[in-house]
């Protein structure tokens, strides 16, 4: 019976391997375990194992030192490395100094481990040369290829070195012929991880990559590899008789099958991008760069889609005055939930159409809106961050972590509705719908002539009753409210635009510029020009600080 030792700094790994197989039924006996190479060296003298299953990254004595010392003192011991999936370079180094083979410790199956151990047990006395170790490495070409692909795509240096190594390996596709890269990434990855109902990442990557290899390998010559934390790529040659449109349809079909698998088996949504054609291994980097740019566009789309590459000319993000944070802050201060919801719905609709803006710029604008909302609610001693959506995300988290704009919209509106219900349950005063509608109309139509009778008719009230209700709700008359809104907007335009005074007067619905200047001075205590000069001076002083 062969004696076996397990060396790993994770106790769960040691226990898992011990319980993986009924070892005695297969001619093996687990004689001891150890938490690092130093402890292992002490126990090897006592227990004399024939096979050692060892991790490489341990402290204070790692697996490399353990293998090296045992090659001199105990040449009969066969070492099998307990590897992590992306540990390619370390595995190769370990095999060059004498390790027999390796297994993925998180995903190894009993029959696979037994097969390798049987081979190790019958291999001899552990005196294989570097050349023999290299021959063993040939059996693991898939892992070597994937490691090289990842290094080529993520390294700025030693590119030629990795290219040379890759060209020596058998590849499923020809990089001398036109090929495309299909990139696949997991949507809402950070959200799913925060929820906690998520398998180990290494196991997820391993199994998803296997599914992709099997799926695309049925009908295509394809190489599948990982290039980001949760990003996959499939390199596929286009058939000579296929045009690009037919090729995209074929890839879209395969992608759809994989997206359904990810949804069904993992509860995950994925998005994809298909690059333009390129040739040569160096074209990989350009194809991946294209796909990374294309995948940004899923922010404006929905999960589960494959996006073709399109060159996009980006525009600089700039908001119109109607979506200024001060508007939202005022609505929140008044607990005008109708107005808040309408502002947010209009805001998201506006952003949805700006697909030439950088998604990160849009997230920045949304964070500013969130800040205005949170600051205003905080003055009422309310913390909106305490409210969580159905996925356990607060408002700031949803803006940062959801992949698609639509998911952010749903979350933000859900959280505002939660706060509204909480406010109502605590006997908070909710603005009457008719008054909220009237206020919203004034803010969006201040350039127009605003008559009490017209607004009252719009909300299905008589003029006198509407005036009574409005003053009861707001503490001021409707006419006074219109005047206040116009002056607030005039201040904003004087601060943030280059419009002339007469143009600002027109923007706020006052035809006579002189009358506007008189009313502005009466409201603010300065003429429009004096106000602008004072504001510019203050802004300049602040910039020096």
User: Can you tell me the mean pLDDT for 150-170?
Assistant: 66
Those residues with Cβ within 8 angstroms of residue 525's Cβ, 6 or more apart along the chain or in another chain? none
Question: How do 101-104 and 78-83 pair as beta strands?
Answer: parallel
Those residues with Cβ within 8 angstroms of residue 476's Cβ, 6 or more apart along the chain or in another chain? 484
**E-assigned strand segments in 142-247:** 179-186, 222-226, 231-237
Min mean pLDDT across 92-101, 364-373, 532-541 is at 532-541
For the chain, the C-alpha Rg in angstroms (whole number) is 33
The predicted structure's pLDDT at residue 255: 92
Tokens of 364: 């920045």
How far from chain centre, in Å, is Cα 98? 41
User: Can you tell me the mean pLDDT for 282-291?
Assistant: 86
Q: In this structure, how many other beta carbons lie within 10 angstroms of the beta carbon of residue 369? A: 23
The predicted structure's pLDDT at residue 219: 80
Provide the residue count of the chain: 545
Model pLDDT for residues 392-449, shown as the tens digit of each residue? 888 888 998 999 999 999 999 999 988 888 777 665 556 677 887 888 788 778 888 8
The predicted structure's pLDDT at residue 502: 92
Helix (H) or strand (E) holding 31: strand 28-34
Percent of the chain with pLDDT over 70: 87
Closest CA to 117 of 77, 83, 65: 77
Q: What is the pTM of this model?
A: 0.57
Helix (H) or strand (E) holding 29: strand 28-34
Cα–Cα distance between 364 and 339 in angstroms, integer?
22
Tokens of 317: 């993000």
DSSP code of 59? S
Could you tell me the pLDDT band of residue 315, with boundaries at 50, 70 and 90?
A: confident
Percent of the chain with pLDDT over 90: 24
- The CA–CA distances, whole Å, from 254 to 177, 182, 206 equal 21, 10, 19
Model pLDDT for residues 165-219, shown as the tens digit of each residue? 666 677 778 888 888 999 999 999 888 877 765 556 776 777 788 788 878 877 8
Tokens of 473: 């709700």
DSSP code of 238? P
Min mean pLDDT across 39-43, 256-260, 434-438, 477-481 is at 434-438
Say yes or no to pLDDT of 264 above 50. yes
Model pLDDT for residues 101-139, shown as the tens digit of each residue? 888 877 778 888 898 998 888 875 444 444 444 444 444
Tokens of 87: 């540990």
Q: Are 435 and 469 in contact (CB under 8 A)?
A: yes
The whole-chain average pLDDT of the chain stands at: 83
Cα–Cα distance between 179 and 161 in angstroms, integer?
22
The predicted structure's pLDDT at residue 491: 86
Say yes or no to pLDDT of 348 above 60. yes
Question: How do 78-83 and 51-54 pair as beta strands?
Answer: parallel
The predicted structure's pLDDT at residue 124: 54
Min mean pLDDT across 87-91, 296-300, 324-328 is at 87-91
The predicted structure's pLDDT at residue 444: 78
């Amino acid at each position: 019976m062969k004696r076996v030792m397990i060396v790993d700094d994770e106790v769960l790994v040691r226990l898992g391997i011990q319980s993986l197989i009924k070892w005695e039924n297969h001619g093996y006996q687990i004689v001891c375990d150890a938490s690092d190479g130093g402890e292992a060296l002490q126990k090897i003298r006592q227990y004399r194992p024939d096979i050692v299953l060892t991790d490489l990254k341990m402290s204070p004595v790692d697996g490399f030192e353990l293998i090296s010392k045992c090659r001199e003192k105990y040449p009969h011991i066969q070492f099998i490395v307990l590897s992590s999936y992306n540990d390619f370079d370390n595995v190769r180094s370990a095999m060059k100094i004498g390790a027999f083979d390796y297994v993925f410790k998180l995903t190894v199956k009993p029959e696979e481990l037994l097969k390798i151990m049987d081979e190790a047990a019958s291999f001899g006395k552990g005196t294989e040369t570097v050349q023999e170790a290299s021959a063993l490495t040939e059996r693991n070409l898939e892992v070597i290829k994937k490691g090289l692909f990842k290094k080529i795509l993520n390294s700025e240096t030693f590119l030629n070195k990795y290219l040379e190594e890759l060209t020596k390996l058998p590849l499923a596709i020809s990089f001398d012929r036109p090929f495309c890269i299909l990139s696949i990434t997991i949507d809402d990855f950070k959200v799913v991880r925060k929820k906690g109902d998520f398998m180990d990442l290494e196991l997820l990557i391993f199994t998803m990559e296997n599914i992709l290899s099997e799926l695309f390998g049925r009908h295509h010559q394809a190489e599948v590899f990982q290039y980001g934390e949760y990003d996959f790529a499939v390199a596929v040659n286009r058939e000579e008789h296929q045009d690009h449109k037919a090729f995209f349809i074929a890839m879209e079909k395969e992608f759809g099958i994989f997206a359904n698998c990810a949804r069904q088996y993992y509860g995950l949504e994925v998005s994809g991008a298909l690059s333009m054609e390129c040739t040569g291994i160096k074209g990989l980097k350009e194809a991946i760069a294209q796909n990374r740019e294309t995948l940004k566009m899923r922010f404006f789309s929905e999960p589960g889609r494959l996006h073709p590459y399109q060159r996009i000319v980006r525009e600089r993000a700039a908001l119109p005055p109607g979506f200024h944070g001060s508007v939202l802050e005022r609505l929140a201060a008044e607990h005008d939930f109708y107005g808040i919801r309408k502002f947010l719905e209009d805001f998201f609709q506006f952003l949805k159409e700006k697909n030439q803006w950088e998604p990160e710029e849009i997230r920045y604008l949304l964070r500013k809106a969130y800040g205005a909302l949170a600051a205003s609610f905080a003055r009422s001693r309310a913390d909106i961050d305490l409210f969580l959506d159905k996925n356990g995300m607060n408002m700031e988290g949803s803006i940062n972590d959801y992949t698609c704009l639509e998911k952010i919209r749903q979350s933000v509106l859900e959280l505002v509705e939660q706060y509204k219900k909480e406010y109502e349950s605590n006997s908070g005063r909710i603005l009457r719908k008719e008054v909220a509608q009237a206020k919203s109309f004034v803010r969006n139509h201040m350039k127009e002539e605003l008559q009490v009778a017209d607004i009252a008719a719009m909300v299905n009230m008589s003029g006198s009753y509407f005036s009574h209700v409005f003053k009861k709700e707001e503490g001021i008359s409707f006419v006074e409210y219109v005047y206040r809104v116009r002056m607030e907007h005039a201040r904003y335009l004087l601060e943030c635009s280059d419009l002339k005074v007469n143009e600002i007067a027109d923007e706020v619905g006052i035809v006579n510029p002189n009358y506007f200047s008189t009313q502005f001075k009466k409201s603010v205590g300065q003429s429009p020009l004096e106000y602008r000069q004072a504001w510019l001076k203050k802004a300049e002083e602040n910039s020096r600080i």
